[in-house]
Structure 1
Amino acid sequence: MALKILGYDVGGTKISTVVGNDNGNILSNVRMPTVKHLGKKRLIEEMITMGDAALKKAGVDKPDMIGIIFAGPVDNKKGVVIASPNIFGLSNFNIVEPIQKYYGAKTYLENDATAAAIAERLFGSGKNVDNFVYMTLSTGIGGGIFINGKLYKGAHGMAGELGHSVIMVNGPTCGCGRRGCLEALAGGKAIARRVIENLNAVRDSNFFSRIRPTEITAEKVFEGKKKGDMFSQLILEETIYYLAVGIVNIINILDPELVIIGGGISKAGKDLFDPLNDAIREEFKSMYRPFKIVPGLENGSDLAAISVPLYKESE
């Protein structure tokens, strides 16, 4: 009989709750927008309400295991959120304890990008690949690393911060405090910022001049390129270059068989992957080796939450 898993994805934009099984089937999901000032007590109350609703929707009385993934650094051994860049007041918060106590099921915590890498290992392109890197391209840039078939966490459990490698000395300030990080140049938030900072180009663009600054996103830039907007084309060419530099650095250090790219920006499909593959090939110079860059799972964010307990139990 298939195991039933309750999964939570606590992110900066939304909180998702899913019920799935160990075959990778999602049986139900419940979502709500993230309230930045929710606080610890209210967050747990909301998670329990959503969990109960998702279980009822799936026709499951009690979960066998629970996974919680969080957009930020976590101590997965202690079940503690170390820092919370997107939801205020959750730093040094044991998010596992109250959920585990309420449901009476073993509960595991993991960073969201690392969890997505685990989902790829169990259900996606990384299934039969021992050495791969998963990179998430969304508001920011994160990742997870598998080396010789095992998740690589590093000495302090914080390996995989791919977005915080500096690729432009004295570049724009990143949320981490450093300057010129990959995330500060090619993350979704950074792409939108680079558009808004070019006021003259925005005014001259038939596409962007009709859009409010608050509505400018990375997705809009891809849309502009499809509509023939030259400024969108320029911004994307720069973004592709920054990503290529960052990815080639990663490949040169780790020599993976595969780089899997997920997150919201990866939904751009061929408009992202075709020029990115070309740019990476060019950036290798004399260090070229065979490589594959592939898109992540279509429903990776849902599968990530249920993959964490499955992987932890099998370790």
Structure 2
Amino acid sequence: MPFAADIGGTSIRVSMVDTRYDHYTLTEPIRFLTDPARGFNSAMDELAAGLKDLAIQNDIPLSSENIGVASAGPISMYDGTYDFSPNLPGWQGHSVSRALEEILGVAVYTAHDGAMGVLAESKYGQHPDTANLIYVTVSTGIGAGIIANGEIVAGRQSGAGEVGHMIVMPGRGSCNNGCDGCLEGVSSGTAIARRARALMENTQDGMLSNTPGPVTAADVVAAARAGDSLAISVIEDALEGLANGLSGLLAIFDPDVIVLGGGVIDGLGHWWDELLERTQHKALPRYKHVLPVSKTILGGDAPLIGAAVFASQQKEVYQA
């Protein structure tokens, strides 16, 4: 029953996941804020403490199991080192695996949360054992995991899956890495909130002007559902960016299915049919009748589950 962690741009969760059977069981996750500004070492200390608490709560020694970690990327699947970290500023060059192994004294295996998500989908999602599967997580940032012909696509530097940096709408916003018009800069939770705040500088009208504190993506979604014109325009941009990105992925990979997950996808549930219609309109003719795009049934737990699957696979390799 491996230990698993999920490091996002907003929060970190730790849990234990039983992946021995055709179904999984997940302990109630321990959650705390990521707060990247406090520094990598401080975050790793709290993550290690959370894993220790989890082991005590479940009366299972940490030394008995591998640890799998899913993280917002880009991050190396080989040693858990951040290449650059637009949503975890200041963490570039640090290795999650190395840091946790030094603190805990057990093997730690780290990969991009998109890659972990696609592992979870391939085992426990609606499309198990699918040979060509893409999982896209849309949250604080946007990333993907890709299985092609039954194999995880890692890339030369294990950097495959950074679909958030595909250019989809030039001039409509940029990500924290400065990519103008990229998918993450248009359709992520960060982008939705940022775009709304920028538009609000030119008007004091609308529901969002009464929001206490900085406007969040959740605020924008709520205002759009209530009919606020500014919020609706931001959501329409996000949908258009996603449709552009998804139609591109369909053209490039010809997958059996693309599965979408993450907090933003949950928030955009009201516009799900519109997203599919926009994507189908932009996609190649072969997708005009059947569009292979669906929402995850694993909720926000896909990266955690995938991290546990990944850790179990590594244990099997080294015990063989």
The 1:60–1:252 alpha-carbon spacing in structure 2 relative to 1, beyond 3 Å, is: same
Pairing 1:84–2:117 present: no
| Alignment partner, residue 178 of structure 1 | 179
Q: Is the 8 A contact 1:132 1:146 kept in 2?
A: yes
The offset of 1:218, in angstroms, is 2.2
Q: Is the 8 A contact 2:175 2:191 kept in 1?
A: no
- The range that moved more, 81-90 or 152-161, is 81-90
The 1:97–1:128 alpha-carbon spacing in structure 2 relative to 1, beyond 3 Å, is: same
The 1:307–1:272 alpha-carbon spacing in structure 2 relative to 1, beyond 3 Å, is: farther
The offset of 1:269, in angstroms, is 5.8
For residue 21 of structure 1, the aligned residue among 4, 18, 23 is 18
- The range that moved more, 25-34 or 143-152, is 25-34
| Alignment partner, residue 229 of structure 2 | 230
Structure 2 Cα separation of the partners of residues 86 and 123 of structure 1 = 28
- The range that moved more, 22-31 or 260-269, is 22-31
- The range that moved more, 243-252 or 293-302, is 293-302
Q: Is the 8 A contact 1:79 1:97 kept in 2?
A: yes
The 1:37–1:179 alpha-carbon spacing in structure 2 relative to 1, beyond 3 Å, is: closer
**Cα-to-partner distance string for 1:165-201 (whole Å, 9 max, x where unaligned):** 1123454333223211111111111112222222377
SS of match in other structure, 1:74? coil
**Cα-to-partner distance string for 1:69-114 (whole Å, 9 max, x where unaligned):** 2222222223323333344543222332343355554321111222
The 1:314–1:121 alpha-carbon spacing in structure 2 relative to 1, beyond 3 Å, is: farther
Q: Is the 8 A contact 1:67 1:108 kept in 2?
A: yes
The offset of 1:223, in angstroms, is 1.4
Pairing 1:277–2:276 present: yes
Structure 2 Cα separation of the partners of residues 55 and 37 of structure 1 = 28
| Alignment: residue pair count | 310
| Alignment partner, residue 140 of structure 2 | 139
Amino acid in the other structure paired with 1:48: A
Amino acid in the other structure paired with 1:181: C
**Cα-to-partner distance string for 1:217-246 (whole Å, 9 max, x where unaligned):** 222222123223233333222321221111
- Please tell me the root mean square deviation across aligned C-alpha atoms, in Å: 2.4
Consecutive unaligned residues in structure 1, runs of 5 or more: none
**Cα-to-partner distance string for 1:261-294 (whole Å, 9 max, x where unaligned):** 1110111364132111111111126453532221
SS of match in other structure, 1:271? helix
The offset of 1:208, in angstroms, is 1.6
Structure 1 Cα separation of the partners of residues 35 and 176 of structure 2 = 20
Matching of residues 105-254 of structure 1 within 5 Å: 105-199=106-200, 203-205=204-206, 207-212=207-212, 214=214, 216-254=215-253
| Alignment partner, residue 74 of structure 1 | 75
| Alignment partner, residue 39 of structure 1 | 39
Q: Is the 8 A contact 1:196 1:213 kept in 2?
A: no
Decide which structure has greater strand share: 1
- The range that moved more, 159-168 or 103-112, is 103-112
Q: Is the 8 A contact 1:202 1:208 kept in 2?
A: no
The 1:213–1:45 alpha-carbon spacing in structure 2 relative to 1, beyond 3 Å, is: closer
| Alignment partner, residue 291 of structure 2 | 291
Q: Is the 8 A contact 2:247 2:283 kept in 1?
A: yes
The offset of 1:129, in angstroms, is 1.5
The 1:39–1:199 alpha-carbon spacing in structure 2 relative to 1, beyond 3 Å, is: closer
Amino acid in the other structure paired with 2:308: I
Amino acid in the other structure paired with 2:30: V
Q: Is the 8 A contact 2:136 2:144 kept in 1?
A: yes
Structure 2 Cα separation of the partners of residues 192 and 37 of structure 1 = 19
Q: Is the 8 A contact 1:195 1:202 kept in 2?
A: no
| Alignment partner, residue 55 of structure 1 | 55
The offset of 1:133, in angstroms, is 1.1
Consecutive unaligned residues in structure 2, runs of 5 or more: none
Q: Is the 8 A contact 2:170 2:180 kept in 1?
A: yes
Pairing 1:8–2:10 present: no
The 1:12–1:242 alpha-carbon spacing in structure 2 relative to 1, beyond 3 Å, is: closer
Q: Is the 8 A contact 1:134 1:143 kept in 2?
A: yes
**Cα-to-partner distance string for 1:5-43 (whole Å, 9 max, x where unaligned):** 111222222221111212421124222212324434433
SS of match in other structure, 1:97? helix
For residue 307 of structure 2, the aligned residue among 305, 308, 312 is 305
Q: Is the 8 A contact 1:108 1:308 kept in 2?
A: yes
SS of match in other structure, 1:142? strand
The 1:229–1:287 alpha-carbon spacing in structure 2 relative to 1, beyond 3 Å, is: same
The offset of 1:252, in angstroms, is 0.6
Q: Percent identity?
A: 25
Q: Is the 8 A contact 2:116 2:307 kept in 1?
A: yes
